[in-house]
C-alpha cells in the first residue's frame, strides 16, 4: 500500500519545520552552558582578587605594629 501524496507532503513540511527548532534548542543549550561557566570563572577571579587584597591588607596590618614596636 502506497501512502497518499498528501501524507508525504505533510511529513516533509513537518520535518522542515521541526529541524530548525532542534538546532536552535541545541545552540541555546550550548550558549547557556558556556555563559554559566564564564560566570563561574568570573566569580572565581573576583574571589581570588578579593582574597589577594585582603591578604595584602592583613600583612600590612601585621607589619605596621611590628615596625612601630621596633622603633620604641
Helix (H, G, I), strand (E, B) or coil at 14: helix
pTM of model > 0.75: no
DSSP 8-state symbol, 72:
-
The average confidence (pLDDT) of the chain is 84
pLDDT tens digit string along 23-47? Answer: 999 999 999 999 999 999 999 888 8
Higher pLDDT pick, 57 / 18: 18
State the pLDDT at residue 67: 52
b/e 38-52 (16+ beta carbons within 10 angstroms → b): eeeeeeeeeeeeeee
**H helix or E strand, kind and range, residue 58:** helix 5-71
Asked whether residue 71 carries a pLDDT value surpassing 60, the answer given is no
Amino acid at each position: 500500500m502506497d501512502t497518499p501524496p498528501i501524507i508525504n507532503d505533510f511529513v516533509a513540511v513537518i520535518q522542515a519545520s521541526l529541524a530548525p527548532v532542534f538546532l536552535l534548542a541545541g545552540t541555546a543549550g550550548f550558549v547557556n552552558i558556556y555563559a554559566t561557566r564564564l560566570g563561574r570563572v568570573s566569580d572565581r577571579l573576583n574571589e581570588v582578587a578579593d582574597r589577594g587584597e585582603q591578604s595584602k591588607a592583613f600583612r600590612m596590618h601585621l607589619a605596621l605594629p611590628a615596625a612601630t614596636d621596633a622603633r620604641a
